[in-house]
Structure 1
Amino acid sequence: MAMACAMPAYALDWRLERSVGASATLTDNANQSATDPENALILSVMPSFILRAEDSRRVQATLQYGLRGVARFGENQSTDLYHNLNAIGKAELIDDFLFVDGSARISQELISLLGSPADAEINDSNRATVGTYSISPHIQQRLGTFARAQARYTHSGAIFGSNVASNAVSNGFNASLNSGTRFTDLSWGLNYSIRDVTNRDRNVSDSTFERATASAGYALNRKFRVFGTVGQEWNDYLSATDTDGASWSAGAGWSPSRRTSLEASVGERFFGNTYSATARHRTRATNWNLSYAEDISDISRFLGTTGTVYDYLCLMDGELKLFDDWPFSFPPAPTNCVSFGGKPGLLFDLRNGVFISKTLRAGVSWGKGKLNYSLNAFDIRRDYQLLDSEDRSRGVTGAVNYRFAPKTNIIGSVRLARNEVPVALSGTTDREDDLVTLSLGVNHQFASDLSGALTFRHTQRDSNVADADFEENRLTASGNMRF
């Protein structure tokens, strides 16, 4: 919609990158079963393209799409088609006044922590196709040097395949007034937001989230600042505890250089004490990052920012580039990319209600000569307000890439994860699963537009529940061609 409005007024240059990938996988446990493992040969092909708007100050747009066809041969033969889409765009329709943002995503997400963790290509028994979308027109106005005002409306939603969850539609409004350039050391802001969520399943209650806050900050010097907020919120959703209340937070930020920044805060909301932190540090050879956030959420909002993501190392313009948290099962560049893991998204049963999400992520990547390393950790907790119960996923992934030859890379990775699901969510018993994934692969660029890879992967789950353990060994040969 943003591009349609803007294109008549502004000429856009588009860059189209097309590619096709194919793979063949042999596995000794396609259904990842403890008692009935099945051998299978899985063939897939995926044409894809990336379309980008270039050389436009007023319009930025990127659309990435792939259609994967899968054929499985074994005890359970089947064929499937899977869509993958990631689109984002923004446009300035009236100079420095009227803007519009939009996004959309289609992916195959994990349904339950208790089922098979395999990708949909291998085994889709625990995967569902999910679509999320958002369109957000907004206006902003400068009130001289005194303040900046903004008003934004956002319409968004989540659509679930195979009826695994209720489709949800959200309408939200946000208005803010923030300090202008007249204020240097002192900053201040006023903010109001309201979001109404309608669930299409009549057995799932609707919800409303409303909040008003005032904030202030002060720079003690060029490197150190302090800030705080106070506010009130009024929420309406099914919960075992009170959903309204006052809120406050206080924190500090430190930026000793352009390469280093640290910010942390502590506060209180109606659901208890809250904490947040972000940190970044960059050197010539390393890149460090850390983030922690707590917020009230539901599935329509959570999926807008959290879904299955993949990690790739790609050789681009003669240099290795790390793509972590890539939202596609196909690589970011048409040639010479190797996948070494990622983090699965997770669908939440709306009948469990609204939850408080507590998300910690930390990582570091570094390289020297022919070797590149990365280490990423995560800890995600979801505290369901209706059930007064919490599930948890945590783990760490390490990967190393060795440039064996100018056009050949060897990559290895290990991922350790633990999932904890209480009896209130599992329905049977408190469950703990430990998952280990090991992979080793070699990638070779045969030509400027053609690359291939051979990858071995071992997956093992140890559980405190009978018949939930399994082991799987998988060998995959893949190729990708740009045209």
Structure 2
Amino acid sequence: MAMVTVAATTSVRMQPERHRPGGHLRLLAAAVMAFSAAAAAAQQVRIDPHVQTRLTWTDNAAAASRDIGSGWIAEVSPGVSIARDGGRVSGRMDLSLRNLVDSADSDRNASYLAMRGRGQIEAVEDLLFVDVDASISRDNPSLFGGRSRDDYLSASRSNQVRSLGIAPRLQLRFGDTAGVLSYQARWLDSERATNDQRLGQWSASLGNATAFGVFGWGVNYQRSDTAYGGSGSPDVTQEVARATLFINVTPQFRLRAIGGREENDYAVRRGERGTIVGGGFDWNPSPRTQVAGSTEKRIFGRGHDLRINHRRARSAWELGWSRDISSSLQNLASIYDDPVFRLFYEALAASEPDPVERERLTRELLQTLGYGSGGLRDSVVSTSYFVDRRLRAGFSLIGARNVLSFSFTRSDRERLGTVSFINALDDFSQYERVRERSAAVTFNHRLSPNSSLNVSASRSHASGRGGGDAETRRTLYSLGLTTSLGPQTSAGLSYRRQISRGSSEFTENALSATFGMRF
């Protein structure tokens, strides 16, 4: 919900904290141990040690346009999943040690820790909460070269990206007035894709949407400091303050009048500042339908945010349209916020009530559509801030034994400011503007209580302009069969064909057999 300023933004500049090399990794390890310890102490915690194996034959092991060579790639990945829903400690975490051996080229062998997790700790009942999320992945960070984002054969060390977020928050209540005071610390680093990046963000909000019956009020202030260590990139700051007047037309429909100020130095070093003027609405015609929209005059132009969610017993629909300042630190926070992830996760609820197993099935479906193991399909991994204009739509139709899903995304991202270095894996270090269109459809059919068939197709078109030109078109088809061999074992067989044209030229056919066991 957008809210705006009654006071001018503060002009005092605080130097962002510099982080020492490797410090964020120690914090990442501390977060993992803290979550594991908290989960182990909690009741009804579920801990699943597991081993996943995969044997793949591919006719283009290097994903190259020349010197194409076939080969076998074997993977053995032991790991552990920890999950708990409800109570004062909740969340999920999956750790696995991925080990890949390439029969054609030992230089492509890899062994690394893959991780994804998100949790919440209620430290003081109804008062103090701590949110933690972390991920480690080796998905291809570039939209223009190499394998597709979802490719399980993408394991190059240069692609490795690590992120960590810790966010304590106080939830306050004074009668009918609610307030939140929070601090979010986020770290992002990679082997070669980006410079180390740290975000420290203070947020404070206070409001009562029905304070005077028909009218309500809200105020919000946010300050963000982003530091890049010793990379040579300048540290940047953003401050936004808003005040909102709520007009409750009916119990289901509410209007918002928004005003405030903002300041940042993302585009120019001397900084830019200006007023925020806008409005919005919230409409909840039924418990299954939510519609919210807002538009504001900002220093980067017109910003807007429209979200429509509709649920029925046998279908789920989502539509989103937005334009705002964004960054990789925000986009890579977690896949759990992605609307397509939520569509699939909720669509599978009837057939798979176990949340851990349902998440695993959801991730398998998302990988067939071009989602990587670490996060969102169309995320850009970059140290730059950018104006992100995005349209997203998706729906799922759920039958007794079938799930049909479709998703469409169109994004137009324009870099703010200049860059101090060129990095082949950082798209915004090479191009001022990155556009992408993607569409995907997937069909899941349950053949029996223990077996299911998955069919999917996706197509994407990415282009980069300014400072250079690039264009890549990708098409991906996949067909897979999965089955449960027993209460703790599963197996699968899949075929995949991917075609890449433009800046990255290659075609690949791959056949994979998988076997997994939980202990």
Q: TM-score, normalised by structure 2?
A: 0.80
Secondary structure at the counterpart of residue 116 of structure 1: coil
Q: Kindly indicate whether the alpha-carbon contact (under 8 Å) linking 1:109 and 1:127 is maintained by their aligned counterparts in 2.
A: no
Distance verdict in 2 for CA 1:4–1:235, change over 3 Å = same
1:319 is the counterpart of 2:348 = no
Secondary structure at the counterpart of residue 195 of structure 2: coil
Equivalent of 1:441, from 476, 480, 492? Answer: 480
Equivalent of 1:422, from 462, 465, 473? Answer: 465
Per-residue CA deviation, residues 72-124 of structure 1 (Å, 9 max, x unaligned), is 11145532113222232322333333332222222223232221124564244
Distance verdict in 2 for CA 1:231–1:181, change over 3 Å = closer
Distance 1:291 1:35 in 2: 41
Structure number having the greater strand percentage: 1
Distance verdict in 2 for CA 1:283–1:228, change over 3 Å = same
Distance 2:290 2:347 in 1: 29
For 2:52, the equivalent position in structure 1 comes to 21
Distance 1:273 1:35 in 2: 46
Distance 1:476 1:277 in 2: 41
For 2:10, the equivalent position in structure 1 comes to none
Matches within 5 A, 1:62-81: 62-75=92-105, 77-81=107-111
1:402 is the counterpart of 2:445 = yes
Q: Kindly indicate whether the alpha-carbon contact (under 8 Å) linking 1:62 and 1:87 is maintained by their aligned counterparts in 2.
A: yes
For 1:110, the equivalent position in structure 2 comes to 140
Distance verdict in 2 for CA 1:216–1:342, change over 3 Å = farther
Residue 197 of structure 1 deviates from its aligned partner by 0.9
For 1:451, the equivalent position in structure 2 comes to 490
Matches within 5 A, 1:315-464: 319=351, 332-333=359-360, 340-343=368-371, 344-350=377-383, 353-386=384-417, 389-424=432-467, 427=468, 430-463=469-502
> After alignment, is 205-214 or 415-424 more displaced?
415-424
Distance 2:245 2:221 in 1: 15
Q: Kindly indicate whether the alpha-carbon contact (under 8 Å) linking 2:169 and 2:182 is maintained by their aligned counterparts in 1.
A: yes
**Letter of the 1:401 counterpart:** N
Equivalent of 1:159, from 189, 196, 212? Answer: 189
**Letter of the 1:340 counterpart:** T
Show structure 2 runs of 5+ residues with no match. 1-29, 372-376, 419-430
Residue 7 of structure 1 deviates from its aligned partner by 5.9
Residue 259 of structure 1 deviates from its aligned partner by 1.3
1:479 is the counterpart of 2:487 = no
Distance verdict in 2 for CA 1:98–1:30, change over 3 Å = same
Q: Kindly indicate whether the alpha-carbon contact (under 8 Å) linking 1:87 and 1:105 is maintained by their aligned counterparts in 2.
A: yes
Distance 1:294 1:379 in 2: 12
Per-residue CA deviation, residues 233-284 of structure 1 (Å, 9 max, x unaligned), is 1112344997321112212222211111212222211001112111111112
Secondary structure at the counterpart of residue 301 of structure 1: helix
> After alignment, is 108-117 or 433-442 more displaced?
108-117
For 2:6, the equivalent position in structure 1 comes to none
Residue 6 of structure 1 deviates from its aligned partner by 10
Matches within 5 A, 1:196-235: 196-235=225-264
Per-residue CA deviation, residues 331-373 of structure 1 (Å, 9 max, x unaligned), is 83499966532333544443xx321122322111112243321
Distance 2:210 2:452 in 1: 50
Q: Kindly indicate whether the alpha-carbon contact (under 8 Å) linking 2:328 and 2:379 is maintained by their aligned counterparts in 1.
A: no
Distance 1:345 1:478 in 2: 27
Larger RCO: 1 or 2 (CA < 8 Å, sep 6+): 2
Per-residue CA deviation, residues 405-449 of structure 1 (Å, 9 max, x unaligned), is 33322221100110011142xx3xx22221110111112222222
1:44 is the counterpart of 2:72 = no
Distance 1:196 1:156 in 2: 11
Distance 1:5 1:212 in 2: 37
**Letter of the 2:412 counterpart:** R
Q: Kindly indicate whether the alpha-carbon contact (under 8 Å) linking 1:138 and 1:151 is maintained by their aligned counterparts in 2.
A: yes
Per-residue CA deviation, residues 182-233 of structure 1 (Å, 9 max, x unaligned), is 5544331111111111102432111001111001222211332211311101
Distance verdict in 2 for CA 1:316–1:375, change over 3 Å = closer
**Letter of the 1:302 counterpart:** N
> After alignment, is 225-234 or 309-318 more displaced?
309-318
1:34 is the counterpart of 2:34 = no
Structure number having the greater helix percentage: 2
Secondary structure at the counterpart of residue 404 of structure 2: strand
Equivalent of 2:506, from 455, 470, 475? Answer: 470
How many residues of Structure 1 are paired with residues of Structure 2 in the alignment? 465
Matches within 5 A, 1:137-156: 137-145=168-176, 147-156=177-186
Q: TM-score, normalised by structure 1?
A: 0.86
